[in-house]
Amino acid sequence: MPDDQTARDREITVSRLIAAGRPAVFRAFTEARHLDRWWGPNGFSNTTHSFEFRAGGSWSFTMHGPDGTDYPNHIEWLAVEPPERIELRHGEKPNDPDAFVSTVLFEEAEGGTRVTLRTVFPTREQRDRAVADFHAIEGGQQTLDSLAAYVAAEISEEERS
């Protein structure tokens, strides 16, 4: 199996064109009072316990799910390069062996800023575990029926366009 295939098995990349200027998008990462307002899926809120935004610094916070579940989070900032790049290690607690490293790129683009988060997990198993954990955060536990509905929605979306 070629290397790129193996890497693809271990990585997840999410990208979005954000209709705002790069300085503002980057700034939304730089202070806890900003991050608390947008970090996490719809319906989530955050409480920051400590925050230091510099390479080697960390952000300790609790994510509150819409159903009242609390999720401990600990992020170490590995690289902070305004306004174009942030590298972070994301876990539940300091020195979490299951923490994984993500790189966030901020690129000026037509219509705003392209933000790309790329996460490469050390192993495929670790990726699968993180995916399953985040799936649980999303209120997952979806039945195969709703899975099929998801695929169907994707397809009708495609047929409309």
Partner 1 sequence: MPPTATTTDAFTAIAEPQRRRILTLLKTSEMPVNDIAHVLGIRQPSVSKHLGVLKQVGLVYSRPHGKQRIYGLDATALRAVHEWTGGFAQFWQESFERLERYAQQLEDEENPNA
Neighbours of 88 (CB within 10 A): 21
Q: Which two tokens stand for residue 113?
A: 């800023």
Chain residues 79-118 in contact with partner 1, contact rule CB under 8 A: 113, 115, 117
Give the interface size with partner 1 as a residue count (CB under 8 A): 44
- Residue given tokens 């199996």 in the structure block: 1
Decide: is 42 part of the binding site for partner 1 (CB under 8 A): yes
Please select the residue that binds partner 1; options are 70, 92, 125, 154, rule is CB under 8 A.
154
By beta-carbon proximity to partner 1, the closer residue of 18 and 101 is 18
Please select the residue that binds partner 1; options are 5, 97, 110, 160, rule is CB under 8 A.
5
Helices (H), the chain: 3-10, 22-27, 32-38, 124-137, 144-160
| CA 3 from centre of chain | 24
Give the shortest CB-156-to-partner 1 separation in angstroms: 8
Longest dimension (CA), the chain: 48
Q: Which two tokens stand for residue 42?
A: 């719809």
Decide: is 49 part of the binding site for partner 1 (CB under 8 A): no
Decide: is 155 part of the binding site for partner 1 (CB under 8 A): yes
Give the shortest CB-129-to-partner 1 separation in angstroms: 10
Give the shortest CB-152-to-partner 1 separation in angstroms: 5
C-alpha 71/C-alpha 29 separation (Å) is 20
Burial class (CB in 10 A: 0-12, 13-18, 19+), 115: buried
Q: Which two tokens stand for residue 71?
A: 């999720």
By beta-carbon proximity to partner 1, the closer residue of 56 and 67 is 67
- Report the interface residues with partner 1, using CB under 8 A: 5, 12, 14, 16, 18-21, 24-25, 27-28, 34, 37-42, 113, 115, 117, 119, 128, 130-138, 140, 142, 144, 147-148, 150-152, 154-155, 158
